[in-house]
Structure formats: C-alpha cells, structure tokens
Structure 1
C-alpha cells in the first residue's frame, strides 16, 4: 500500500517512532500509508498556518509587547520551516528518496507548543479580547489536529495537549475566578478528543486491512495463493513500466498443460493442485 504521491519514510528517532506508532500487529504497508497521511497536502497546511500566524500578528499589533512579538516570530519560523520540510518531503517521496519524517513530526509538535504559548500569554495579559481570540483560534486548530493526524493518535493527543492545555495555567495567571471552570472543562475536552483520535485510528486501520485483503483476493488464487490472471498482468505491467536500469533482469516462462481440465473435473481442484 503506497501513496499515489510516493512512499514516505518511517521515523527513526525513538521519540518520533513512539509518536507515530500505529499500534501492535499493523502490517508494514499500512504503516507506510499512515505515515503518508500525516504529511497531508499543502492547501490544508496553508489554511492552518495562515490562521495561527494571522491571529498572532493581529494580537501583537494590539499588544506590542516582547512576549507577543516573540510569538509572531516563533509562528513565522515554525510555519516556514514546516512548509519547507513538507515541500521537500513530497518531492523526495515522488523521486523515491528518504523523506524527513522525524523533522516533520518534531515541527508539528513545536507548532502546537507555539499555539499553546500564545494562549498562555494572552490569558495572562488580562486583555479579554486578546484572550478570546487566541483561545478560539486554538480550539479551531484542535479539531483539525484530531481529524488530520488520527493516523498517529499519540501524535494527535500530544499536539492537543500542548496547544490547548496551557489554557489551565493561563486561567490561573489571569486571576479571574470565573475562568476556573476551565480546570474541569479542558481536561475533559482533551481526553474526549484524544479518545476520538484513537477510535478513528482503529477504524482507519480496519478499513485499510479490508482493502488490503480485498486487493489480495482480487489478484491471487484462493486455493493456491499464487497470482491469478489479474495479478499476473498487474505484476508484469509493473515490471515493464520500471525505468531502465532499475531492478534485476527477468524472464517469463509460460507453460500450457493440455487436458488438465478433466483432472479438475474428476478429482477436484484441491487434488489437481497437488499434481
């Protein structure tokens, strides 16, 4: 199972492998497809990046203090870095080269941390317009995080925690008793969204397994497990379409057994297969 845009590399670092792990017993081809899903597309990335950078910028214009200016700079650096890595990864996947998956995952976590930092300083500022804008932006991003990254539920849960979790200490710093309700709301919301990511992940893997099994049945004989006519044609076309110089030379041997049908009809397919 491979993305139409190419195959993306599995993470190699310990922490990124843990973040992207799909669970035990998942076949390698499905793991590769799940990693490809994490990269998404440029339009989806652009929508999230424009939102967070724009929110940070307008807040910095309203509150031109060092923390908010630092937040704008941080958002710009992270988003431009993620864009560069995303473009490079898509190009590398199409060309069959290793992709910077570890860096892609680290930058995703860094971006969610930046969103959380913005919430924290916005609530601590005491400006309720700024606090509301930053919190609404983060809440909108959390929905996208869950439904865009549920192919790696640990990554989704970590990003949700880092982006929305700072509301709790931010509310404490705001010294507004009415905001203390978030001490109950935010943990429940974080738990619910993380559970949703894990459930969606299980559904996605189950669907991929079904597609994998159906694809195998469509191209293999159920009795012998060998490729059937459709599978043979697909494998031959793949070999013939390979660029010159790629792969090893191959030869095709065709055997035609005369009068084999009576054996099938008399003794059955199982017996004929053992002949």
Structure 2
C-alpha cells in the first residue's frame, strides 16, 4: 500500500477529493488511496483502451483515430510513471505528485470519452459496439477503484459517458439517440452506487481506526495503554540503533492515591487519574508519548532527549500536581514519584531492561521521600 499519498495542493484538483471532510486526516488519506494502489488495474485498463484504439486505426486509419491511439499511449505511460512513484516506497517524492496523478486520470477519462464519440460518429457498427462496451466497462471500473473519492470518480464517469451520448446526435441512426434518454437514469444510478460504496468503505475504515485505538489506548484516561506504549518503545529502540539517538523513559507512580480511593470512592479516584493524565499530556513535548499501564502507574517516553530535558519535564509534572492538590484540598497528600531511565547512543537495551531501570529509579524516588524524581 502506498505510503506517500497526500492531499492535492492545487485548488482545482483538491475540489475533487473534498468528500468526507468530517473524518480525521488518516481515514481521508486511506479513502484517497484508491487511484494509487494497483498496477494491475492500470495495466488492464491500458490493454483494453489500446485494443479499441488499435482496431479503430486498423479499420479507419484517419488522423483522428491515429491521434487517439498516440494520445492514449502517451497518457498511459505518464500515468504508469506516476503510479510507480506511489507504489514503490523507495522512489523520491516530487512536487504536485498527487495533483498530476489525479489530473491525468481525468485526462484519460476525457480521452476515452472523445475517442468513443468518434467511433459512434464513424457509423462503423463494429467500432460502435466495441467502443461503447469498452467505455461502459471503464465507467464501472472507475466507480469501483475510486469509491473512496466519489466526486472524483463521478467526474471520470461524466467525462467518459457524456461525449458518447452527445455523439449520437451526429450520426444518421436515430434509434441510437435513445442513449441520451437513458443517460439521466444511468448517471443517477452510478452516483447512488458510488455514494453507497463510499459509505460502506468509510464505515470499514472508521471501524478499523476505532478498533486500533481501543486496542492501544486506556479507556478511562484516553492516553496509551501498556500495548500502545510498548509498541512505541520498541520502535524508539530500533530508531536509536539505526540513527544513534538517545531517549528517556519516565516511570511515574502516584503517592497517596490509595488513601483517596478509600476515603472518597473509586469515582473520585478515577477523576484524579483522568486529571493527572490530562496534566501530563499538556506538560510533555509534542513528540512525547504518555501511557497508563495500570492502576496509578504511568509511563512517558521522550525520544531524542537527554537527562536535562527529562528532569525539566519531571519537575513540571511534580509542580503541576502540587498546584492541583492546592486547588483541591481533599486531595492533599497526593504526590508523584518519578524514575527516569536514559538510553545512550550505541547502547543495546531491550524494552524490558529500559522499563526495569526506570521502575527501579521510581522506587528509589519513593525511598527518598516521594514526590521527587531519580535517575536509573
């Protein structure tokens, strides 16, 4: 699956992918991936249109049909080159890559529509049947492949279908003009189909996102859970080995939390946990991660940081918790003990070793009088 797809930047092309704007960015990017995901689909479409164009040139070697064949091949080659940049992750990005890919998709659809119109006007029954059958199959393929961006898919369908229908006005067989009467029902049906397909695909992506979030986040506080933070720690250790970077891990445990739970009930304890999680999330840096790993135990990962940065964050957490207890007299006596483990460049450590060092440092902080931090 491509990992370089991004939203188009030009206003004209961006308008075609403005569907589902109420969704989060990640889900919208997944919906946009349709036009960029399959070499096989592009190859099949290219063979199909190439055959029709070649038959048209063989039967009627006119300037129009020869030009159609050349234009079709040039557009296909450009689209193939652009697709390669998205499917192959080692290919470098270039400016307006998404815009160009979507634009040439529209140009390809218009070229098919105009070529099909020429086949109808030619009055050649073989070409008429072959070209119309091909165009209809291409509209169905566009609907299925680009269901994540229905506005874009429908524009492709219009560019292929309308020239074909209008061409019936310029040939002598009147019965073919029935296609014009049929057009509204056909296009409305495709629009309804596109929106139904998009709704189902969107539901699937949203459900997948929610499932992933539930698996890696704590239900009470909304921060990461044990699985979520372990995934980040594993990735951080891998990045450190590959990039010679250091990072710090903070292990936090609330002091006096059990007394609050016993005195005021679990609802009050849950409120403290939610407030504490929110406070930590506000204090840490943008790239840091916060997790509740159970009870009143928390972990903070700080990539690309040293002891000075970790100390600053630990001091801010302690200070903010003190201010919180000052505002809430019932929670006086609540504190936090913090253990910090720093990993150095070229140091080979497992996730378990790093967490163990941070945990030992946290217990050293408790032994030192609580509501303070120590290094492992």
Q: What is the TM-score of this pair, normalised by structure 1? A: 0.89
Q: Which runs of 5+ in 2 are unaligned?
A: 273-333, 335-376
Q: Is the 8 A contact 1:38 1:152 kept in 2?
A: no
Match of 1:59 in 2: 56
Q: Is the 8 A contact 1:16 1:102 kept in 2?
A: yes
Matched, 1:108 2:105: yes
Match of 2:37 in 1: 40
Matched, 1:71 2:95: no
Deviation at 1:256, TM superposition (A): 4.9
| Distance in structure 2 (CA, Å) of the matches to 1:96 and 1:253 | 37
Deviation at 1:30, TM superposition (A): 1.0
Q: Is the 8 A contact 2:3 2:86 kept in 1?
A: no
- 1:28-83 CA-to-partner distances (Å, cap 9, x unmatched) read 11122122222121111101111111111112111111111111011101001100
Deviation at 1:188, TM superposition (A): 1.6
RMSD: 2.3
Task: Give the 3 Å change call, closer, same or farther, for CA 73–191 of structure 1 in structure 2.
Answer: same
- 1:140-163 CA-to-partner distances (Å, cap 9, x unmatched) read 111100000111111111000111
| Distance in structure 2 (CA, Å) of the matches to 1:147 and 1:192 | 14
Deviation at 1:262, TM superposition (A): 7.9
Secondary structure of 1:166's counterpart equals helix
Higher strand share: 2
Higher helix share: 1
Task: Give the 3 Å change call, closer, same or farther, for CA 95–227 of structure 1 in structure 2.
Answer: farther
Matched, 1:23 2:20: yes
Residues paired across the two proteins, number: 270
Q: Quick one: which of 191, 212, 229 aligns to 1:215?
A: 212
In the TM superposition, 1:98-137 aligns within 5 A as 100-137=97-134
Match of 1:271 in 2: 269
Q: What is the TM-score of this pair, normalised by structure 2? A: 0.67
Matched, 1:195 2:187: no
Secondary structure of 1:251's counterpart equals strand
| Distance in structure 2 (CA, Å) of the matches to 1:257 and 1:96 | 48
Structure 1 or 2, whichever has the larger Rg, is: 2
| Distance in structure 2 (CA, Å) of the matches to 1:270 and 1:221 | 18
